[in-house]
Amino acid sequence: MRLGVVAASAILSFSLGCDGYLATKGQLLSATGHELSGCSARIESESGTVVRDWFAIESDFGFSEVVAPGRDTYFILISCPGHYPLLQRVRSGRDSADLGQLRLVPIDGNRAR
């Protein structure tokens, strides 16, 4: 009986949410507002530990990950072919972080792309 109560408590705690959850969404654009594709993203802790990598991210993106409870600051590194990478600070918690429109600068400096 005791094992069933512990298991039910663990399931209930997870379904109600905790501070060990990170969800984010946004839109990747070039400096001139064109949608980007073929991008990748990486979540890192403040100490630089890689939490998760995503590949083949399109312009409109969204993802979530279970992260360490009690740590609230993470960094998302977004890379798109032909553009400088973008580092964005995010916080974990119950709500999704809407990063809005993220504009990446072309490596060649030509903003007309």
Q: What is the CATH number of the domain that holds 83?
A: 2.60.40.10
Residues spanned by the domain of 84: 18-104
Q: What is the largest CA-CA distance in the chain?
A: 67
Q: What is the pLDDT along the chain (113 residues), one digit of tens a residue?
A: 443 333 333 333 333 345 577 788 889 999 889 999 899 999 888 888 888 888 878 888 887 777 776 667 888 899 999 999 999 888 877 666 788 898 999 998 655 44
Helix (H) or strand (E) holding 15: helix 2-16
Q: Please indicate, yes or no, if residue 67 is contained in any of the structural domains.
A: yes
Cα–Cα distance between 106 and 71 in angstroms, integer?
A: 33
Does a structural domain hold residue 91? Answer: yes
pTM for the model = 0.70
Q: Which residue has the tokens 């312009």?
A: 59
Residue 60 lies in a domain: yes
Beta bridge partners of 77: 42, 87
Domain membership of residue 43 (yes or no) is yes
Number of structural domains found in the chain: 1
